[in-house]
Amino acid sequence: MQVNIDLSTTNPKQEAFFKARTRYVGYGGARGGGKSWALRKKITLLSLLYAGIKILLLRRTYPELRENHINTLLVDLKDIAKYKESEKVFTFLNGSTIKLGYCASEKDVLQYQGNEYDIICLDEATQFTEYQYQTLTACLRGANDFPKRMYLTCNPGGVGHEWVKRLFISKRYKQPERPDDYTFIAATVFDNKILMEKDPGYVDMLNNLSDGLREAWRDGNWDMLAGQYFNEFDRAVHVIKPFTIPQHWKQYRTIDYGLDCLACLWIAIDESGNYYVYREYAESDKVISDGAKDIVELTGGEDVLYTTAPDDIWARSQETAKSKADIFRESGLPLVKANRNREAGWLAVKELLKVSNGESRLKIFDTCTNLIECLPALQVDSRRPTDCMTEPHEITHLPDALRYFVLQYVRPSKPEKKKESIAEQCKRQAFNNNNKRRRGLY
């Protein structure tokens, strides 16, 4: 069967994307660069070229998947592939398949664990968390001769802004990442001649965006994103290697609880009033008693002064007359009410993150990977510039727990008392006795 794929409108950036051969290929950087069209054409060509190849195409939500890909592919592949709605799979006559999926929540990615795909596509990759991306890379395998590649289309902004920028823009690689495995093809609306001709007003819309957002969405500038709330955050300053917390430092816990996640942070205060986040816990689908047990076990024998929680946890159930705080207390985790003022809380976090002479008052152990990813990913609420957006909701729990704690008044830890030698103890006792004799006390 002869198949004709119309590539007559391909622009140079899309052509470079078609020809890219590295294991990880990023494409885009700005809005209107023709990313989705290029991605659909690429996986169609691969499906026809390699009989039996397995391809996975993902968007963050199902409505986005349906509107951006399923509806269009139903037309494009009408005569060359059959679509099975229940499985959301296009099957070609040569046995190649394109499976379409979505990861609306963090745990949705687990449905792909154990599966093997030759090609994985993350459309709008900055809407995916680094955990989701890393989980999916483990699925990029197969005992065959097909190419193994991951294609990521992206714009600045979103929960995945930092990890996408690190890999494809800043090129700050960690072990075992290899620089030669990554290619980034930067494209803007000005590369998309078809869109420029059909909808010239789209450029005017981009030009009218606010400072920062305009440079990010129109020009693909990853450093001018106006929506980042904590622009003070610098991993080189705020993320440190773990160390043993001195026993004389004051230690606290702070939690945020919802049906979708129980989040907890352990925080220590040094003699100068600096904050050290040294442990984190974030689990979904946890009943209070089980979550409280986990937190108590993780704390071990540490001398935690108290645990803060938002005051709505004390609201009583009409059915049982019990509050969530009651259940936490009965499960071995008594709580202290915290102030939930969002504006004051976020501004207090910003104060702690403020960098002066290369230092800040807030340090986070590099083992607290979720907080490190979530904190810089929070975006400014466009309707309330002093507040953060509450979406995507899954990245807000640990930052919220931090916000509750920083509004508590806590004193710096007292310096550790130096242990006296026996000779020093005797000298001090003799001095005290002499003073008493002079004062006629004995």
Domain boundary among 170, 191, 219: 219
Q: What is the pLDDT of residue 161?
A: 83
Q: What residue type is 24 in one-letter code?
A: Y
For residue 432, name the pLDDT band (cuts at 50, 70, 90).
Answer: confident
pLDDT at 425 over 70: no
Residues with Cβ within 8 Å of 330's Cβ and at least 6 positions away in sequence, in order, are 289
Q: What value, to the nearest 5°, has the Cα angle with vertex 174 and ends 401 and 364? A: 25
Q: State the pLDDT confidence band at 6, using cuts at 50, 70 and 90.
A: confident
Q: Could you tell me which residue, 438 or 167, shows the higher pLDDT? A: 167
Residues 188 and 30: beta-carbon distance below 8 Å: yes
**One domain for residues 146 and 280:** no
Q: What is the pLDDT of residue 420?
A: 62
Total structural domains within the chain: 2
pLDDT score recorded for residue 419: 66
For 69-82, b where at least 16 C-beta lie within 10 A, e where not — what string?
A: bbeebeebbeebbe
Residue-number span of the structural domain to which 369 is assigned: 235-406
Instruction: Tell me: do 142 and 269 sit in the same domain.
Output: no
Whole-number Å distance between alpha carbons of 201 and 230: 33
Q: Can you give the C-alpha Rg of the chain in angstroms?
A: 28
Q: What is the mean predicted confidence (pLDDT) over 348-372?
A: 94
Q: Which of 222-236, 319-333, 369-383 has the lowest mean pLDDT?
A: 222-236
Q: Examine the domain organization and report whether 323 and 392 are in the same domain.
A: yes
Pick the range with the lowest mean pLDDT from 142-151, 404-413, 417-426.
Answer: 417-426
* pLDDT for the residue numbered 436: 65
214 & 257 share domain: no
Looking at residue 319, what is its pLDDT? 75
Q: Give strand pairing partners of 388.
A: 380
Of 160, 179, 169, 167, the C-alpha closest to 219 is: 169
Q: Print burial letters for 169-208: b (CB count within 10 Å at least 16), e (below 16).
A: beeeeeeeeeeeebbbbbbbbbbbeebeeeeeebbeebee
**Confidence category of residue 224, pLDDT binned at 50, 70, 90:** low
Same domain, 253 and 313: yes
Is residue 418 scored above 80 in pLDDT? Answer: no
Q: What is the band of 38 on the pLDDT scale with cuts at 50, 70, 90? A: very high
pLDDT higher at 169 or 227: 169
pLDDT digits over 75-122, tens only? 999 989 999 999 999 999 999 999 999 998 878 898 998 899 999 999
Establish if 79 belongs to a structural domain: yes
Q: Which helix (H) or strand (E) holds 292?
A: helix 288-299
Mean pLDDT on 182-188: 94
How many angstroms separate the first and last alpha carbons of the chain? Answer: 113
Q: How far is the C-alpha of 170 from the C-alpha of 17, rounded, in Å?
A: 20
User: Strand 275-283's sheet: what is its strand order?
Assistant: 239-240, 362-365, 275-283, 261-269, 250-258, 304-310, 336-338
Q: How far is CA 28 from the centre of its chain?
A: 21
Q: Is residue 88 part of a domain?
A: yes
Provide mean pLDDT across the span 247-273: 95
Query: Which of 188-192, 223-227, 230-234 is the least confident region?
Result: 223-227
At residue 197, does pLDDT exceed 80? yes
DSSP characters for 226-270? TTBS-TT--HHHHEE---PPPTTSEEEEEEEEETTEEEEEEEEE-
Contact 308, 300 (CB under 8 A): no
CATH number reported for the structural domain that contains residue 243 in this entry: 3.30.420.280
Q: Amino acid identity, residue 221?
A: N
Q: How confident is the model at residue 4 (pLDDT cuts 50, 70, 90)?
A: confident
* Same domain assignment for residues 284 and 352: yes
Give the residue from 312, 261, 252, 314 showing the smallest Cα distance to 287.
261
What single-letter DSSP state applies at residue 363?
A: E
